[in-house]
Amino acid sequence: MRVDFDIPTNRLETDSIRWDAYDSKKVLPLWVADMDFQSPPCVIQALSNRIQHGIFGYTHSPKQFNQIIARYLLNQYDWSVDPDWIVILPSVVSALYTAVQQLTNVNESVLIPNPVYHHLRLACTEAGRKYHDLPLRLVDQRWVLPNKELPYIATQDTKLALLCNPQNPGSTVFNKDELMGFGDFCIKNNLWICSDEIHAGLVLDGKKHIPIASLSKEVSKRTVTLMSLNKTFNFPGVGLAWAVAENPDLRNSMQTGLHQTIAEPSLFAYTATLAAITDGEPWRQELLQYLQTNRDLVTSRINHIDNLSVGKIEGSYLAWIDCTNLNHQNPHKLFLDAGVATSPGSQFGQPNFIRLNFGTQKSKLAKALDIIQNACLR
Ligand SMILES: Cc1ncc(COP(=O)(O)O)c(C=O)c1O
């Protein structure tokens, strides 16, 4: 299979959140986390076959769906999961909110990494739960968990730790030691863990993603793992997610509201996910190669611009760029006014940073990097 990810795509007039927010004649939009590539041909074909049928009635999940997911987890991550541990959900975001609401009481608090994908924090504030930041540290150019500081950060009332692995933003793919340190701390302090692993399929450089729940029975019994193929195969608009929880109490919690206030996934979500699991692997491998070359371009260009820097990007397509030395009040606005829309670091808890989405054609990326470089010269 040869996929040409350089082929230009046009997302105007498709109601794209990323492309409709700004005037596309003036601004290159590299913010919200979806990619400018078509999904794999197997996904497009499966959806188109389903559409041709023309009847879109109430639909249950495909036969053996949980078994198929369990086999996928074993193949991809050496993670042995009983199909009964899997709960099918419409999205990772709704699952994050459910986890915080169900796994803590009002008087209990939550640990969350900082910086982090904003919905981890919002899940706490919207539920009226206190949270404590786990400030990530840049060590050897990787944003790592503050494992040694954990005992001083958790309090008597801490009940739940949220993890984002691979990390967004910061793109760290946590290694076994880092995860073991974190897992041990959670065991010692009797904390539940909810691990958002939506970026697991986008680990670069042939590294392996390690689901934290795969470390040991003890960790598995206190963990809810959230996964989805939305990011990897670029279909978040028709997506579906799943939670894996060995502990039946945690599993029941994740089912709260399902098919009541939380709708089930659409039939297209099942179709797209099943096709990606069954036939998407060759496309994914090519995508990873392309993203690596984009990652290399971003890393070398940004680190050659005075006053900007970016650490090692180990996964996904999101560069977390430190603009502290620019001494600019609002780096996001600086680059937006120059013609590139990034995500403001404040969204993730760090106003001196921006997040650049490099899941796009190399020609667009190179143009965006030129604009960023010129904006820094002014
Ligand atoms: C860490 C993380 N979790 C969840 C999501 C969104 O998941 P979903 O589209 O399934 O709600 C994103 C999207 O950017 C993300 O980066």
Same domain membership, residue 294 and residue 156: no
| pLDDT higher at 148 or 52 | 52
Same domain membership, residue 239 and residue 101: yes
CA of residue 115 to ligand 1 center, whole Å: 15
- The answer to whether residue 329 is domain-embedded is yes
CA of residue 54 to ligand 1 center, whole Å: 30
In terms of residue numbers, what domain contains 202?
65-279
What average pLDDT score do residues 137-150 get?
95
- The answer to whether residue 2 is domain-embedded is no
The confidence band for 24, taking pLDDT boundaries of 50, 70 and 90, is very high
pLDDT value at position 378?
75
From 34, 136, 165, 198, the mutation candidate for ligand 1 (largest count of ligand atoms within 8 A of CB) is: 198
Same domain membership, residue 166 and residue 259: yes
pLDDT value at position 182?
97
Q: Which amino acid is at 135?
A: P
Instruction: Identify the CA nearest to 179 among candidates 225, 140, 141.
Output: 225
pLDDT in tens, 235-263: 999 989 999 999 999 999 999 999 999 99
pLDDT value at position 316?
96
Percent of the chain with pLDDT strictly greater than 90:
98
Pocket-forming residues, ligand 1, beta carbon under 6 Å: 33, 91-93, 117, 164, 168, 196, 198, 228, 230, 236, 239, 241
Same domain membership, residue 254 and residue 329: no
* Nearest-5° Cα angle at 100, 96 to 102: 110
Q: Is the peptide bond before 115 cis (omega within 30 degrees of 0)?
A: yes
Res 29 pLDDT > 80: yes
From 117, 266, 356, the mutation candidate for ligand 1 (largest count of ligand atoms within 8 A of CB) is: 117
Same domain membership, residue 236 and residue 119: yes
Six token digits for residue 91: 């999205």
- The answer to whether residue 231 is domain-embedded is yes
Six token digits for residue 340: 């590139």
Which of 258, 279, 300 marks a domain boundary?
A: 279
The answer to whether the CB of 257 falls within 8 A of the CB of 248 is no
pLDDT value at position 239?
85
- The answer to whether residue 53 is domain-embedded is no
The answer to whether the CB of 186 falls within 8 A of the CB of 161 is yes
Q: Is the peptide bond before 62 cis (omega within 30 degrees of 0)?
A: no
pLDDT value at position 68?
98
Looking at ligand 1, which atom is closest to the CA of residue 34? 14
Same domain membership, residue 303 and residue 254: no
- The answer to whether residue 10 is domain-embedded is no
- Mean model confidence pLDDT for the chain: 97
Same domain membership, residue 199 and residue 299: no
Same domain membership, residue 114 and residue 96: yes
Count other Cβ atoms within 10 Å, centred on residue 152: 9
pLDDT in tens, 82-135: 999 999 999 999 999 999 999 999 999 999 999 999 999 999 999 999 999 999
What average pLDDT score do residues 306-319 get?
97
CA of residue 377 to ligand 1 center, whole Å: 34
CA of residue 229 to ligand 1 center, whole Å: 10
The answer to whether the CB of 123 falls within 8 A of the CB of 62 is no
Same domain membership, residue 287 and residue 263: no
Structural domains counted in the chain: 2
- The answer to whether residue 326 is domain-embedded is yes
The confidence band for 264, taking pLDDT boundaries of 50, 70 and 90, is very high
Q: For residues 196 and 194, give the distance between their C-alpha atoms in angstroms, rounded to a whole number.
A: 7
